[in-house]
Amino acid sequence: MEEELEIFLEDCDDQLQFMENALVEMQNGIIDEEAIGAIFRAVHTIKGSAGMFGFDDIVAFTHTGENLFDLIRQGKVEVNKEMIDLFLRCKDYAEKLVQAAVNSEELDEEQKRIGEELTNKLIAYIEGKPQESAVEVLKDETLDESEQKWHISLRFHQEFFTTGMSINSIFNFFNKMGKVLLKHPITYNIPPLEELNPIHPYIGFEILFSGKTTKEELEDVFEFVADDVDLIIFDVSEKGAYESLVVQRGEALLQKELIAASFASQEMFSETFLKDVSSEESEAEEKKELKKEIIAPQESLEKQEEAKKSESKKKSSTTLRVDSHKIDLLINYMSEIVITNSKILSLVERENEESEESSELEEAAYSMKELLEYVRDGIMDMRMIQVGDSFNKFRRIVIDTAKKIGKDVEFVISGGETELDKSVVERISDPLIHMLRNSIDHGIELPEERVAKGKRAKGRVDLRAYPDAGSIVIEIEDDGGGLDKERILAKAIENGVVKPSDKLSDEEIYKLIFAAGLSTADKVSDISGRGVGMDVVKRNIEDLRGSVDITSTYGVGSKITIRLPLTLAIIDGFLVQVGLTKYIIPLENIKECIELTKEEEAQMGTNEFINLRGEMLPLLNIRDVLHEEESISNRKNIVIVYFGNKYVGLIVDELLGEYQTVIKSLGEVFVNLPGISGGSILGSGEIALIFDVPRLIELKNRVGSVK
């Protein structure tokens, strides 16, 4: 059951997130039928899934919430602010119930007390309408107080057993919803032993069920196996329903099976089923007459079923749920293939240099390289997900944080359709949460302060994402008080982070907030103010080969800009050589390559820039920065790289061309190597170091001349 439980957990996480998103929208005043319906469906789905696994605590809790939301859907209970807060607490508690159930753990006494408190509050809202009861909400309004009886006709597709679902779990869930009066197996389709396939289901079921449920709730029981069963459900009091069932099934022996099941003794069948069915001729005649009566509705039913199956196939063919660890493994294998193919290309080129003519092997090797690039791109696309789902999870955090410190904040998300590597999205989540909380706590002023400054009482925090120059940009912008650079600088000098004599630009001063232990908060709160966290944020972003910048206007607001690579595994690179060492520059960061002539070098003198088409281009000599040996080449080249709106020219010796690069970690020993993000194995077996362009640009801006 481990795999099924994982699916259950993922599905519950999704439904709980849908629920939270809808509730947050309702907190913002958007209370409509769509939001209420989304929450009801989420609660109902969790209840149904939990029931199939026998998680009674989850079923009982969600059942109460479902009752209340059904009353809300019918307009019998009005939603208010306190109720929304209660639902958010219920969502958190349901999350704990799901985790405890999946891990086979018991909730502690405090959590059980919270559960009872929440349940009682839900019931209090339900009982606020005395003419309605929780049970009455679940059934059709046309019914009286007696339980309704349903007939369920069930057949299985040949692939049913491959789903891993147990029909016993479904039957057990029926007993929680009501009572199974009769469960009769249909056995006449079982073939002779020599023709029997043990993985094919041959037995069907005709079930008589009694309970205060709707047809839709019974259909939801089969939600996980809807594409693998043939299901017919009808009210036993419905006129002509049994006759229609016989025609739909097209099974000549079904009448005998139903009578043999003693349904007739319970007065659930029309007189048709009490006729003599001993001869096949009379059976055929009866069937013919019945078909005439219901042929029109039957044709319509068949069309609906066909459309439903077609739509189901369409959905199942476009979506495939794959464990992310399998994709990680595939990427690792792909990385090794890329390295091996590079070695093959290197050997082929060496052989062609000796023979001075191309060969079919060379053509095949380059064709293989092209195909591998397609496969690589396809695999990497599997890892790309939209950031919107992750961003939506922050809504609750922003609202709760603002509410806790008495601030009113409008949270706006844009660019949610932007795609980023799943692993990057997961690792950037915590840094974003920390910075959002800081924007609310330190940036946005209290409502009365904002009004006194001529601002509107409600502050605004924007979270946006967009692609830019081969990377993804994430911005957090607020219209708060902005950063006080004099105060930051004074605190940094006091803490010994910088010296009083240091000349820093505004951008460099703002970045001092990322220094460990530096905080300008007047008082410590349980949200921020201890001077910890922002240094970790910066380190986590840099570990992702990203960068973070801050711009601010005092009294107006601040903006934090994060730049991240699209992926962390395989990149297109450009191979260069400095001294005896080869380096790889990410192709997405390269603008152009030019030759540094001896005349230009002489004009430079001790300056570290050149005039490039009327613009000053700062230069960084890689040999000096990384203490490389003297060049064995008589030529020098400049590779112009950029990140954001900043450009630097890297002085290198040889330009060796494009190279598909598998990024390998260098380990903790080389973690502080300036401007290096990792390494890669070349086809020749040599190690090439990968430049971290953002760090190199930062190094140039911070250190200046290195000669």
What is the tens place of the pLDDT at every residue in 6-50?
778 888 888 888 888 888 888 777 777 777 888 888 888 888 778
- Note the pLDDT of residue 476: 93
148-315 and 387-565 agree in CATH topology: no
Mean per-residue pLDDT, 355-376:
78
Q: Which helix H or strand E contains 408, and what residues bound it?
A: none
What dotted CATH number matches 387-565?
A: 3.30.565.10
CA distances from 224 to 5, 58, 180, 269, 412 (A): 13, 18, 21, 31, 36
- Six-digit token string for 318: 């476009």
Q: Does domain 148-315 have CATH number 3.30.70.260?
A: yes
Q: Is the pLDDT reported for residue 259 higher than 90?
A: no
Query: What's the confidence (pLDDT) of residue 381?
Result: 80
Q: Check pLDDT > 50 for residue 172.
A: yes
Q: Structure tokens of 168? A: 């016993």
Which of 129, 145, 143 minimizes the C-alpha distance to 76? 129
- pLDDT recorded at residue 266: 41
**pLDDT-above-70 percentage for the chain:** 79
Alpha-carbon distance 204 to 291, whole Å?
A: 23
**Residue 412, SS3 per DSSP:** strand
Q: Does 291 score more than 60 pLDDT?
A: no
Give burial (CB, 10 Å; 0-12/13-18/19+) of 368: middle
The more confident residue out of 259 and 470 is 470
Radius of gyration of the chain, Cα coordinates, nearest whole angstrom: 34
Tokens encoding 185: 């197996």
* Residue 282: pLDDT band with limits 50, 70, 90: very low
Considering only CA atoms, which of 549, 545, 558 is closest in space to residue 427? 545
Half-sphere exposure of 214 (CA within 13 A, CB side): 13
Query: Which residues have a Cβ under 8 Å from the Cβ of 25 and sit 6 or more positions away?
Result: 35
- Mean pLDDT, rounded, for 257-263: 46
Say what the pLDDT of residue 569 is: 67
512: three-class secondary structure by DSSP: helix
Cβ-based neighbour number of residue 581 at 10 Å: 17
Q: Tell me, what's the pLDDT at 635?
A: 80
Q: 3-class DSSP state for residue 529?
A: coil
Which tops the pLDDT comparison, 140 or 366? 366
Q: Is the pLDDT of residue 532 over 50?
A: no
278: pLDDT strictly greater than 50 = no
Yes or no: say if 333 and 340 are a contact pair by the CB < 8 Å rule: no
Q: What CATH class has 570-703?
A: mainly beta
Return the domain boundaries, the chain: 2-138, 148-315, 324-385, 387-565, 570-703
The C-alpha angle 320, 321, 324, rounded to 5 degrees, equals 130
Report the alpha-carbon distance of residue 66 to residue 40 in Å, rounded.
6
Find, among 253, 213, 262, the residue nearest to 233 by Cα.
213
* 249 or 343, greater pLDDT: 343
Contacts of residue 28, defined as CB under 8 A and 6 or more positions apart, other chains included, come to none
Half-sphere exposure of 122 (CA within 13 A, CB side): 26
Q: Which amino acid makes up residue 194?
A: E
Q: Is the pLDDT of residue 293 over 70?
A: no
**Neighbour-count burial of 176, counting CB atoms closer than 10 A to its CB (0-12 exposed, 13-18 middle, 19+ buried):** middle
pLDDT at 243 over 80: no
**pLDDT, position 501:** 81
Confidence (pLDDT) at 269 = 40
Mean pLDDT of the chain: 76
Terminal Cα-to-Cα distance of the chain (whole angstroms): 65
Q: Which of 184-193, 453-462, 601-610, 617-626 has the highest mean pLDDT?
A: 453-462
**How big is the CA angle at 393 (ends 387 and 399), to the nearest 5 degrees?**
130
Q: pLDDT at residue 52 above 80?
A: no
Report the percent of the chain where pLDDT is more than 90.
Answer: 7
State the average pLDDT over residues 472-483. Answer: 90
How is domain 2-138 classified at the CATH fold level?
A: Four Helix Bundle (Hemerythrin (Met), subunit A) (1.20.120)
| Nearest-angstrom CA–CA distance, 461 and 436 | 8
- Which of 5-14, 72-81, 446-455, 673-682 is the most confident on average? 446-455
Count of alpha carbons within 13 angstroms of residue 446, beta-carbon side: 5
pLDDT category at 576 given cuts 50, 70, 90 is very high
CB neighbour list of residue 166: distance below 8 Å, 6 or more residues apart: none
Active-site positions read 44, 66, 438
